[in-house]
Amino acid sequence: MQFASQWLDLSEPHVMGVVNVTPDSFSDGGSLFPSQSLCLDAAMSRARDMVAEGASFLDIGGESTRPGAEPVSAQQELDRVIPVIEAIKASLDVVVSIDTSTPQVMLEAAAAGAGLINDVRALGRAGALSAAASTALPVCLMHMQGDPKTMQDNPVYESVVHDIGDYFKQRVSECEHAGIAAQKILLDPGFGFGKSLAHNLQLLNQLQSLANQGLPLLVGMSRKSMIGNVLNRPVDERLHGGLAVAIMAYERGAHIIRVHDVGPTVDALRMAHAVMSSI
CA–CA distance, 207 with 255 (Å, rounded to integer): 12
Q: Output the pLDDT for position 32.
A: 57
Average pLDDT in the chain: 93
Residues 6+ apart with CB under 8 A from 211: 217, 252, 253, 254
Q: Output the pLDDT for position 34.
A: 46
Q: Output the pLDDT for position 38.
A: 61
CA–CA distance, 260 with 139 (Å, rounded to integer): 21
CA–CA distance, 128 with 121 (Å, rounded to integer): 10
pLDDT at residue 60 above 80?
A: yes
CA–CA distance, 224 with 261 (Å, rounded to integer): 13
CA–CA distance, 31 with 172 (Å, rounded to integer): 36
Closest CA to 56 of 120, 105, 127, 8: 8
For 207-262, write each residue's pLDDT tens digit. Answer: 999 999 999 999 999 999 999 999 999 999 999 999 999 999 999 999 999 999 99
Helix pair 160-178, 197-205: axis angle to 10 deg? 70
CA–CA distance, 178 with 225 (Å, rounded to integer): 35
Taking residues 95-114, what's their average pLDDT?
Answer: 98
pTM above 0.85, yes or no: yes
Q: Quote the Cα angle for 60-62-65, to 5°.
A: 100
Starting at the edge strand found earlier in the chain, the sheet holding 218-220 runs 185-188, 139-142, 116-119, 95-99, 57-61, 14-20, 256-259, 218-220
Q: How many CB atoms lie within 10 A of CB 117?
A: 28
For 41-58, write each residue's pLDDT tens digit. Answer: 999 999 999 999 999 999
CA–CA distance, 5 with 28 (Å, rounded to integer): 31
Per CATH, the number for 13-276 is 3.20.20.20
Distance separating the N- and C-terminal Cα atoms of the chain: 26
Confidence of residue 155 (pLDDT cuts 50, 70, 90): confident
CA–CA distance, 28 with 124 (Å, rounded to integer): 28
Q: Output the pLDDT for position 24.
A: 54
Closest CA to 186 of 67, 89, 99: 99
Domain assignments of the chain as residue spans, ordered by start: 13-276
Q: Which residues are catalytic?
A: 224, 258
